[in-house]
C-alpha cells in the first residue's frame, strides 16, 4: 500500500508524512495544552449545561438538572476514573450519557477530579475515598436530602473506587460521618475491575521491580504524568494505537480527523505519587480489594455489599478485561446483572443508542444497539417513579457554572480553594 502510494503520488505523501513527524516531535506540553483547548471543551464537548455545586481540594461536583417536566426523585451520581477527565461521559451531544440521562428525567451529579501537582504527592487512596467519593456523596445529601437514595455509577477506576466506598459503608463499623450520607440504592460499574487476579495485559507491566522503578520516578516529581501513563495504555493496544497510526501518518501522509473521543484521550491527567504506589501495590500486586482491603485502617469486604449491582464489560477491553469485570459475581451476594457490550474500553461504553455497529448481550440474549438505550438495563435500573418539578432547584447555592472548561483543562483548579497541606 505504501509503495503504491509512493508511485501514485511520486513521493509527495512521504514528504507530507515527514512534515507530520516534525510537527509531532516539535509538540511541547504547552502546545499539547493548547490542543486540548482547541478540542472545544465547553463548546463542542462537555456541553450539557451544569453547575458546580461543591468543591474541595480534590474534586468539583457538577450537577446537571433534568430537562423534563417530571423528574425522578433519586439522583444519579457518576464517578469517573481519577486518571480520566470527567467529560468522557459528556462528549458531543450525540453520545453524551449525561445528556441522555437528563433527557430521561434524571438529575445527574458528576465528580470531576483535580489534576494533582507536586504538592499533592502525599494524597492516599483513603483521601480519594473520603475527600473524593464520600465528601461528594455528603454534598449530594445536603442538597437533595440525606434520606433520598442515590444511584451511584463508577467508570473504570471510578468503579473500583465506588466498590471500595460501598464496601466501607456496608461494613458494621461503617465510615466516619456515615449518618449524614444518603444511602446508595444501586451500583453501576462500567468497565470496572474489583478483582485483579486476571488484570489482563496491563498485569504484564506490574511487578515489584517495575513498581520500584515507578516509585523512583514519582518520588522525584511528586506524581506520574499523563504522558507516562498514556504510553503504557497505548502499547497495550499497539497495533491500532501506535503502529497503524504511525504508518498512516508518517508513511502515507494522512492525518486522522480528531474525534471527540480522541480529543478527550489527549487531555491527560496526573496521579499522586503515594496514591499511585498504593493503587498498584494493593490492587494489582496483592489484589487486596477482592481479599479484604482496608479503609481508614479497618477491613472492608465486597461481600458486605447488598445493593443491586449492574455491571458492564466490553468485548475488546485491553484495560479492564471482561473476565475481570464480571468477578463480583463470585465476591458478593447482591443481585447482579452483567451486560457484555461490543467495542473497547471507551467506545464500548460511550457509544450512543442507535449506533448501527453496536450490540450487547445479557445472559444468552443478544441485541443490536447500545446497552444504555431505553429498552435495556440502564433504563430499567433507574426506572423510578417521576415527580413534578426540578430536583434540587432550591436547595443548592451554585458555586459556578460548569464547563467546565476550567475544571477539565486547568491543571490545578484547587488553587482557587484552601490548599490541603500534606506532610
Active-site residues, by number, are 156
Cβ-in-10-Å burial (0-12, 13-18, 19+) of 246 comes to: middle
E strand segments, 56-156: 59-64, 70-71, 76-79, 108-113, 150-155
CB 140 within 8 Å of CB 75:
yes
For cell 500534606, the residue is 422
Residues 6+ apart with CB under 8 A from 194: 159, 160, 163, 289, 290, 302, 327, 328, 331
Residue 48 Rama label (left phi>0; alpha psi -120 to 50; beta): beta
- In DSSP terms, which residues pair with 59 in a beta bridge? 113
- Per DSSP, the residues of 157-192 read HHHHHHHHHHHHHHSTT--TTGGGSPPEEEEEEES-
DSSP state of 5: H
DSSP state of 303: G
| Cell of residue 58, nine digits | 480534590
Residues 6+ apart with CB under 8 A from 277: 211, 214, 215, 218
| Cell of residue 401, nine digits | 457554572
CB 204 within 8 Å of CB 319:
no
Query: What 3 state SS string does 372-411 have?
Result: CCCCCHHHHHCCCCCEECCCCCCCCCCCEECCCHHHHHCC
Closest CA to 53 of 407, 388, 305: 407
Note the helical H segments in 93-134. Answer: 97-103, 125-127
DSSP state of 96: -
- In DSSP terms, which residues pair with 341 in a beta bridge? 314, 360
Amino acid at each position: 500500500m505504501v509503495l503504491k502510494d509512493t508511485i501514485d503520488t511520486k513521493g509527495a505523501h512521504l514528504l507530507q508524512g515527514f512534515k507530520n513527524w516534525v510537527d509531532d516531535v516539535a509538540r511541547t506540553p504547552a502546545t499539547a495544552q493548547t490542543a486540548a483547548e482547541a478540542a472545544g471543551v465547553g463548546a463542542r464537548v462537555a456541553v450539557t449545561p451544569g453547575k458546580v455545586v461543591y468543591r474541595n481540594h480534590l474534586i468539583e461536583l457538577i450537577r446537571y438538572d433534568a430537562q423534563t417536566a417530571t423528574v425522578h426523585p433519586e439522583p444519579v451520581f457518576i464517578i469517573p476514573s481519577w486518571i480520566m477527565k470527567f467529560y468522557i461521559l459528556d462528549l458531543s451531544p450525540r453520545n453524551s450519557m449525561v445528556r441522555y440521562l437528563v433527557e430521561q428525567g434524571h438529575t445527574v451529579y458528576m465528580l470531576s477530579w483535580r489534576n494533582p501537582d507536586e504538592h499533592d504527592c502525599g494524597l492516599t487512596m483513603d483521601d480519594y475515598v473520603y475527600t473524593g467519593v464520600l465528601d461528594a456523596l455528603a454534598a449530594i445529601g445536603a442538597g437533595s436530602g440525606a434520606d433520598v437514595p442515590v444511584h451511584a455509577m463508577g467508570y473504570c477506576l471510578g468503579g473500583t473506587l465506588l466498590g471500595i466506598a460501598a464496601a466501607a459503608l456496608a461494613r458494621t463499623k461503617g465510615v466516619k460521618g456515615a449518618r449524614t450520607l444518603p444511602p446508595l440504592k444501586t451500583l453501576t460499574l462500567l468497565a470496572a475491575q474489583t478483582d485483579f487476579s486476571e488484570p489482563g495485559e496491563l498485569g504484564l507491566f506490574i511487578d515489584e521491580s517495575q513498581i520500584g522503578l515507578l516509585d523512583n520516578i514519582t518520588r522525584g516529581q511528586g506524581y506520574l504524568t499523563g504522558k507516562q501513563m498514556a504510553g503504557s495504555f497505548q502499547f497495550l493496544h499497539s497495533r491500532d494505537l501506535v503502529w497503524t497510526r504511525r504508518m498512516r501518518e508518517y508513511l502515507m501522509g494522512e492525518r486522522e480527523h480528531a474525534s471527540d473521543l480522541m480529543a478527550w484521550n489527549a487531555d491527560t491527567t496526573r496521579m499522586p505519587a503515594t496514591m499511585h504506589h498504593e493503587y498498584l501495590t494493593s490492587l494489582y500486586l496483592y489484589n487486596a480489594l477482592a481479599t479484604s482491603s482496608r479503609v481508614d485502617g479497618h477491613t472492608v469486604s465486597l461481600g458486605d455489599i447488598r445493593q443491586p449491582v449492574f455491571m458492564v464489560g466490553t468485548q475488546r477491553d485491553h484495560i479492564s478485561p471482561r473476565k475481570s469485570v464480571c468477578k463480583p459475581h463470585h465476591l458478593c451476594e447482591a443481585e447482579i446483572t452483567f451486560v457484555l457490550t461490543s467495542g473497547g474500553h471507551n467506545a464500548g461504553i460511550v457509544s450512543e443508542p442507535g449506533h448501527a455497529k453496536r450490540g450487547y448481550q445479557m445472559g444468552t440474549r443478544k441485541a443490536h444497539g447500545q446497552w444504555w438505550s431505553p429498552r435495556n438495563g440502564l433504563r430499567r435500573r433507574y426506572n423510578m417513579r417521576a415527580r413534578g418539578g426540578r430536583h434540587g432547584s432550591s436547595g443548592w447555592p451554585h458555586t459556578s457554572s460548569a464547563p467546565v472548561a476550567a475544571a477539565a483543562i486547568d491543571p490545578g483548579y484547587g488553587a482557587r480553594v484552601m490548599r490541603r497541606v500534606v506532610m
